[in-house]
Structure 1
Amino acid sequence: MPLLRDIKTFSGIVTSAFDRRRNQSEWDRFAEQRGPVEENFGAAIFFPDGPVNVYQLRQWYEPMRHLAERRPVAVLVRNVSTANLLKDECPLPVLLQPQIGLTEQWLAEHSVGAVFYVNQNIVNFRMMRFRDPAHIFISHGESDKDYMASNQLKAYDHTFIAGQAAYDRIGRRLVDFDREAHLRRIGRPQVDVKHSGPALPDDHRTVVLYAPTWEGDRPSMQYSSLGSHAPGMLDVLLTTGQHRVVYRPHPRTGAFDPSFRELHDEVVRKIEAANEADPDASHVVDTDSVFGWHLAAADVCVCDISAVAFDFLATGKPLLLTEPAAAAAEVDRDGLPGLLRTFRAEDASDVLTVIEAVRDGGDRERYGQIVEHYFGDTTPGVSLRTFLDVSSEIIDRRQKLATEAI
């Protein structure tokens, strides 16, 4: 067994080296064909992760594209595989900087007023040592997850938050943190941009978006309903003849616990079987599009404590927020789970009754107050404009201060 393990390890090393060489050659060809990027950048997104986390960046493509019309924005990456993926899909210039020295040289050549971060990768700190730009945490979604009130927020000059709910949540959980100085409310600019997606049949079926989060990498983050709710719920929804399920799993499903990849595969098999039995059902498995089109397409959403819940909340349409089955999951009862009736695993097979109760018994005025509490003014266009104005203000201020310091 030790010999077999050593052979597998060696094989993995050789394969990784081959992949790196192939990816580097692909990038070199692209960079040579593109030529030098001459634009004078005023802002950057620092993304040191591999391709598995690109979903975190994708949701910012459109808001950042709009910002780039005011202040040019570059995406700085350290991983060549990520660079090759982004060069084909990202609307912003992608710059590969595997060594921090390259980043240092690049910053010296540009008047960068702000660097944005979409996650809490520890490698962010290699970038945050640079003093001139403002360092801004924008995250990759708004939610009541424990992650959203991490003490790591203190490291950034600013954290962009959706609204009052995030302001209150951070105030409850962080000790000795100046919210007024560091938090900036921007709403949810992603709801103000258009997303392309498949054209679903225009028929009588109720479209149910099921978007479970991943399993989490620690007990307090075990919010996923994939094993607890999905089996019983889908056995019903896929057989009514009145519903169309759009299954959108979290991109990291199974990354930490392989058993969740098996749960995902089982859901896919059920949906494929349902489509074979009833081709008109047109149930959808979506694992690779940019999240966003789902909000307009769905009539109802079933999701876990995650950013999806908050994005769908802003639509004002019925939302079934699952109650985590894992006892160790950190549930903020002062947040959304305390404001909405949660959907429990033991009620999964009774999902139709739960959906009807939410659709027919909701207090629309109270629901609107919850939406405002989390997102502020949801008038179309307001969030995007606020994001652009706040970002531009910070960029301009830091550029001015950096110039005065010379």
Structure 2
Amino acid sequence: MKLLNTLQRVAKRARQSLADKQQRQFIERHATDLIHAPVGEDRYKAALYFADEMVNAYQIRQWYEPMKQLSDFMPIAVITRRPDTALALRDECPLPVYYAPTVEDLERLVDSQDLRLMFYVNQNIQNFQMLRFNEPKHVFICHGESEKSYMWSNQLKAYDFVFSAGQAARDRLTSQLHNFDVHERTRLIGRPQIDVSYVAPFSPNPALPTVLYAPTWEGDRPSMQYGSVVSHGEQLVDALISDGGFNLIFRPHPRSGKNSAAYGKAVERIRRKLAEANATSSAQLFFDDTTDWGWQWSTSDFCVTDISAVAYDFLATGKPMFVTRPASSEATVQDSPALARVPSLSADASENAPSLIRSAITESNMDSREVVEYYFGDVTAGASMRRFITESLKLVVGDVQAEQLPLKKAA
């Protein structure tokens, strides 16, 4: 069996190597815009660095619109290291995409451009090949606010600055990350994604409340086992379908099933259940594998999610939600004001979800405004986007000049 697995891995690497070679050749012949470096005033002043494969593109997609609005003030590009990712982003990303497969390519780009700011959305090991350059200011923007241990990784020390959502992030870093000057190296920007207008791909039955179930993936180590699809998900979905009184958006994490075949199979079972029930249900049951993240917030009346960035994105809406209680005792669960005030949902209670959700929708939570402010600051329309743009420009042109620029309100 071990020999068979080894041979399969070797064959997979060989196929990937051949595909990479063919894609590189295609870029050199037919997608030369991916290796074009502008000159003069069009030279890039900032870049969004993404060295990952497309399975993790959800991390960069949520930054398209904030970066697009920032590009009104200076030229911005996306830097990618993989040929398949470069070609895929070329088709969907509203910003110029630059393909830099080698360190030498990165050096040529840095030498030819006026790069002053470099943004990072994850902790890919290839980030360090860009971090070796002293000139751009390196800023970690992450891909969402959460209480996962990822949020206080020691790797944050590698960046010049960390753009955090609100005071909660600063307090978290103060208590968890040693030898890190939080006030000097963090900038509070809120959540600019909430200031973007999104178009929903489906229309729920307006007579019924809409529930968003958006679990995270199974994790790649015991401390990150927050995913609820196996422990809660099927019971929860079965109960909501059987009740018939709720529209349902089921949005599994894009990485679901990558580390656990059982987790991936559970996602597929839920997909089939929704498709079968849709044929006869008056409710709209939607399996959400769209690339856009944001329309779900305004479409939904209630959310069930795990300890993940989704919980904090939905928190900013002020709408009610449940955060699932991890079934694994090894999952790291930190005390937090959000988790303390948001009701939790145990695996055993999943089958009673319809009645629990109905009660929660009718109740008012007076604590939510205080918690939202603690995690995100001012969430009035346009406020987060303006803070993101202002803090970015301060690092490029200085505090005084940035404050004098006429910042547009979010669309």
Q: Contact 1:112/1:395 (CA < 8 Å) preserved in 2?
A: no
Cα 1:299–1:108 shift into 2, 3 Å: same
In the other structure, the counterpart of 1:283 is 285
Q: CA deviation at 1:180?
A: 0.8
1:257 Cα shift? Answer: 1.7
Q: CA deviation at 1:74?
A: 0.7
Equivalence for 2:74:
71
Superposition pairs of residues 192-271 of structure 1, within 5 angstroms: 192-271=195-274
- CA gap 1:356/1:282 in 2 versus in 1, 3 angstroms: closer
Residues 153 and 177 in structure 2, CA contact (< 8 A), matched pair in contact too: yes
| Greater alpha carbon shift after TM alignment, 190-199 vs 218-227 | 190-199
Asked if residue 47 in structure 1 is aligned to residue 79 in structure 2, the reply is: no
TM-score, structure 2 normalization = 0.92
Work out which of the residue numbers 355, 359, 379 in structure 2 matches 1:353.
Answer: 355
User: 1:94, CA displacement in angstroms?
Assistant: 0.4
Q: How much does 1:335 deviate?
A: 4.0
The answer as to whether partners of 2:234 and 2:266 remain within 8 angstroms in 1 is: no
Cα shift at 1:176: 2.0
Per-residue CA distance 1:76-95 (angstroms, 9 max, x = gap): 11100100110000001000
> Contact 2:81–2:102 (CA<8 Å) still a contact in 1?
yes
- Work out the CA distance in 1 between the residues paired with 2:322 and 2:111: 50
- Structure 1 residues 9 and 338, CA gap change in structure 2 (3 angstroms): closer
What residue in structure 2 maps to residue 343 of structure 1?
Answer: 345
Whether 1:101 and 2:104 are equivalent positions in the alignment is yes
Offset of 1:362 from its aligned partner? 3.1
Equivalent pairs counted in the alignment come to 397
Change (3 A) 1:217 1:288: same
Of 196-205 and 171-180, more deviation after overlay is shown by 196-205
- Specify the code of the residue in structure 1 equivalent to 2:16: S
Q: Is 1:178 matched up with 2:174? A: no
TM-score of the aligned structures, taking structure 1 as reference length: 0.93
Q: Following the alignment from structure 1 to structure 2, what is the Cα–Cα distance between the partners of residues 32 and 375?
A: 41
The higher-RCO structure (CA 8 Å, 6+ apart) is 1
- Say whether 1:369 aligns with 2:370: yes
Per-residue deviation at 1:40? 1.0
Aligned to 2:322, the other structure's residue is in SS state strand
Q: 374-383 or 26-35, which moves further after superposition? A: 26-35
The Cα of 1:50 is off from its aligned counterpart by 1.2
Q: Give the deviation of 1:196 after TM superposition.
A: 2.8
Give the whole-Å Cα distance in 1 for the aligned partners of 2:14 and 2:177: 45
Code of the residue aligned with 1:381 in structure 2: it is: G
Bigger drift between 281-290 and 97-106 goes to: 281-290
Letter in 2 for 1:376: G
Between the aligned partners of 2:28 and 2:222, the Cα distance in structure 1 is: 42
Identity rate of aligned residues, in percent? Answer: 41
Distance 2:123 2:72 in 1: 27
Deviation at 1:276, TM superposition (A): 2.4
Identify if the C-alpha distance between structure 1 residues 363 and 12 changes in structure 2 by more than 3 Å, giving closer, same or farther. closer
1:157 is aligned, of 151, 160, 168, to: 160
Q: In the alignment, which of 272, 277, 286 is matched to residue 275 of structure 2? A: 272
Query: What is the CA–CA distance in structure 1 between the aligned matches of 2:208 and 2:104, rounded to whole Å?
Result: 56
Inter-partner Cα distance in structure 2 for 1:2 and 1:215:
25
Q: Is the 8 A contact 1:188 1:375 kept in 2?
A: yes
Q: Which runs of 5+ in 2 are unaligned?
A: 402-411
Measure how far apart 1:2 and its partner are: 7.1
Residue 100 of structure 1 and its aligned partner are, at CA, apart by 1.0
Comparing 336-345 with 298-307, which one deviates more in the overlay? 336-345
Alpha-carbon displacement from aligned partner over 1:85-116 (angstroms, at most 9, x marks no partner):
10000001000000011111111111111100
Output the CA distance in 2 between the equivalents of 1:6 and 1:115.
38
Work out the CA distance in 1 between the residues paired with 2:126 and 2:92: 24
Report SS of the residue matched to 1:75. strand
Distance (whole Å) between structure 2 residues aligned to residue 262 and residue 292 of structure 1: 26
Q: CA deviation at 1:20?
A: 1.6
Aligned to 2:381: 380
Asked if structure 2 preserves the Cα contact closer than 8 Å seen for 1:161 and 1:185, the reply is: yes
- Give the Cα separation in 1 of the matches to 2:358 and 2:238: 17
CA distance in 2, matches of 1:207, 1:176: 45
Q: Provide the alpha-carbon RMSD of the alignment.
A: 1.9
8 A contact 1:304–1:321 mirrored in 2: yes
Which is worse superposed, 351-360 or 385-394?
351-360
Candidates 278, 302, 314, aligned match of 2:304: 302
How far residue 121 of structure 1 moved from its aligned partner, in angstroms, is 1.1
Aligned-partner SS, 1:337: helix
The residue identity in structure 2 corresponding to 1:285 is F
Contact 1:222 1:326 in 2 (8 A): yes
Supply the distance in 2 between the matched residues of 1:174 and 1:3 (Cα, whole angstroms): 43
Question: Post-superposition shift, 1:199?
Answer: 3.2
- Residue identity matched to 1:277: T
Rounded to whole Å, the distance in 2 between the matches of 1:378 and 1:58 is: 21
Asked if the contact 1:323–1:343 (Cα under 8 Å) also holds between the matched residues in 2, the reply is: yes
Output one character per residue of 1:360-393: Cα deviation in whole Å (capped at 9) or x when no partner.
33323x1111111111000000000000000011
1:3 deviates by: 6.9
Q: What runs of 5+ residues in structure 1 fail to find an aligned partner?
A: 401-406
User: Does the C-alpha gap of structure 1 residues 172 and 25 become closer, same or farther in structure 2, counting only changes over 3 Å?
Assistant: same
Q: Which amino acid aligns with 2:260?
A: D
Once the two structures are TM-superposed, the CA of residue 138 in structure 1 deviates from its matched residue by 0.2
Task: Sort the Cα spacing of 1:55 and 1:69 in 2 relative to 1 into closer, same or farther, 3 A.
Answer: same
Counterpart Cα distance in 2 of 1:24 and 1:36: 14
1:33 is displaced (CA, Å) by 6.5
Provide, for residues 7-63 of structure 1, a one-character-per-residue CA deviation record: whole Å limited to 9, x for no partner.
545543442233223322332344237783423111011111111111100000000
